[in-house]
């Protein structure tokens, strides 16, 4: 069964059923919950959906939630259409037949809507590899870091000595870390992110509504770093129950204020918060491909997390448009 909005899911009286299944699953996560569906459908350029599988006893035994995304308008939007799945599918007892049925349904749904499908894995999907392979997906290694948030003292002890020093000197220099208090705080952070993406990342960034709506969501945390009352950095990401905090975006005006390291403080803030509030771990949401040099990975590695390689699964649905889109992204990055 397929639902393309939170309202449709609620009308079918399946919100609680979905969330109970996801919460009980050992790999349950925010991105397969109704909370994510309700948030992401408010953001321009994002079209979510959820596929549900029921067994013969009419009990839910599989969930696959994803988003069709595109950037900009006109040809750019047409050539950037992709379907992204974070942390799914979730199936009862890692049942390969259920996963296979969900993946086949996903493939049918995606045709004509997306140029390619990408699964960004949040857990070891080895038990489901046969289902992915049979549906035509290719596995690609991709790293990540998971940071335990058992206690502030333990989390701080696992930081590199350089990170501990940077946190100490930043606070001593007058930097302050807090949760965002207003839309102005969020938009100030967004301006810093915009500069970072234009000058260094050179990839499309969601519009400000993504960040404002996430800040308004009860299932998210936005931390900002301020110096003399001005926002100089921040981080934003969803939270799932009292289990995990995610870092979707982080930024900082680094090297501008002597002794202050905004990006370091912005990444430490959710780790410290998670440790104080009983969360299990903090998820950096990606650290690049292992075969490629990646400065962001070096930055994240010093926060004392466990390096994992859950990887990604990718299926190209339209090879000619996929190659044109890749070429267009290279031109975009060169021009920017």
Residues 174 and 267 in one domain: yes
Q: Tell me, what's the pLDDT at 330?
A: 57
Rounded percentage of the chain residues whose pLDDT exceeds 90: 84
Kindly state the average pLDDT of the residues 36-64: 93
- From 3, 20, 9, 37, select the one nearest 217 (Cα to Cα): 37
Q: Where are the alpha helices (DSSP H) in 32-182?
A: 34-40, 74-79, 96-110, 129-134, 152-158, 161-172
Q: Which domain holds residue 48?
A: 2-142+310-335
Least confident of 33-42, 207-216, 235-244, 289-298: 289-298
One domain for residues 137 and 149: no
Claim to verify: residue 26 and residue 91 sit in the same structural domain: yes
Chain segment 122-175, per-residue pLDDT in tens: 999 999 999 999 999 999 999 999 999 999 999 999 999 999 999 999 999 999
pLDDT digits (tens, 9 = 90+) for 240-287: 999 999 999 999 999 999 999 999 999 999 999 999 999 999 999 999
243-263 b/e with 16+ CB inside 10 Å = b? bbbbbbbbbbbeeebeebbbb
Looking at the fold, whether 61 and 174 belong to one and the same domain comes out as: no
Q: Are residues 317 and 171 in the same domain?
A: no
Task: For residue 278, give the CATH number of its domain.
Answer: 3.40.630.30
| Threshold 0.75, pTM exceeds | yes
- The number of domains in the chain is 2
Alpha helices by DSSP H, 30-92: 34-40, 74-79
Q: CA 181, CA 189: separation in Å to the nearest integer? A: 12
Residue closest to 39 by CA, chosen among 76, 77, 13, 65: 65
Residue 4 above 60 pLDDT? yes
Say if residue 228 is in the same domain as residue 328: no
Q: Would you say 51 and 105 are in contact if contact means Cβ atoms under 8 Å apart?
A: yes
- Tell whether 128 and 157 lie within a shared domain: no
Do 21 and 100 have their domain in common? yes
Q: Is there a single domain that holds both residue 158 and residue 298?
A: yes
Q: Quick one: 304 and 160 in the same domain?
A: yes
pLDDT tens by residue, 285-336 = 999 999 887 789 999 999 999 999 999 999 999 998 888 876 565 544 445 5
Cα-Cα end-to-end distance for the chain: 42
Let me know whether 176 and 289 are in one domain: yes
């Amino acid at each position: 069964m397929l639902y393309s909005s939170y309202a449709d899911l609620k009308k079918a009286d399946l919100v609680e059923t979905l969330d109970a299944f996801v919460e009980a699953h050992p790999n349950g996560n925010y991105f397969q919950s109704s909370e994510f569906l309700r948030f992401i459908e408010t953001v321009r350029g994002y079209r979510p959906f959820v596929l549900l599988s029921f067994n013969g006893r009419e009990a839910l035994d599989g969930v696959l939630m994803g988003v069709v995304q595109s950037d900009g308008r006109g040809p750019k939007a047409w050539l950037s259409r992709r379907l992204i799945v974070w942390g799914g599918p979730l199936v009862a007892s890692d049942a390969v037949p259920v996963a296979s049925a969900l993946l086949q349904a996903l493939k049918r749904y995606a045709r004509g809507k997306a140029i390619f499908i990408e699964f960004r894995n949040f857990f070891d999907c080895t038990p489901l590899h046969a289902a992915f392979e049979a549906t035509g997906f290719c596995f690609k290694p991709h790293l990540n870091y998971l940071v335990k948030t058992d206690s502030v003292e333990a989390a701080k002890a696992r930081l590199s000595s350089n990170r501990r020093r940077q946190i100490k000197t930043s606070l001593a220099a007058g930097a302050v870390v807090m949760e965002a208090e207003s839309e102005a705080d969020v938009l100030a952070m967004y301006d810093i992110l915009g500069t970072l993406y234009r000058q260094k990342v050179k990839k499309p960034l969601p519009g400000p509504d993504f960040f404002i709506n996430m800040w308004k969501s009860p299932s998210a945390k936005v931390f900002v770093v301020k110096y003399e009352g001005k926002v100089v950095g921040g981080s934003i990401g969803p939270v799932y129950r009292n289990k995990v905090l995610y870092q979707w975006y982080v930024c900082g005006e680094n090297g501008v204020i002597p002794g202050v390291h905004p990006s370091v403080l912005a990444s430490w803030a959710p780790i410290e918060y998670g440790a104080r509030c009983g969360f299990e771990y903090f998820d950096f949401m990606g650290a690049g491909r292992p075969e490629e040099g990646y400065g962001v990975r070096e930055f994240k590695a010093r926060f004392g997390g466990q390096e994992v390689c859950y990887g990604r699964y990718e299926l190209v649905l339209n090879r000619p448009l996929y190659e044109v889109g890749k070429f267009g992204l290279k031109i975009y990055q060169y021009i920017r």
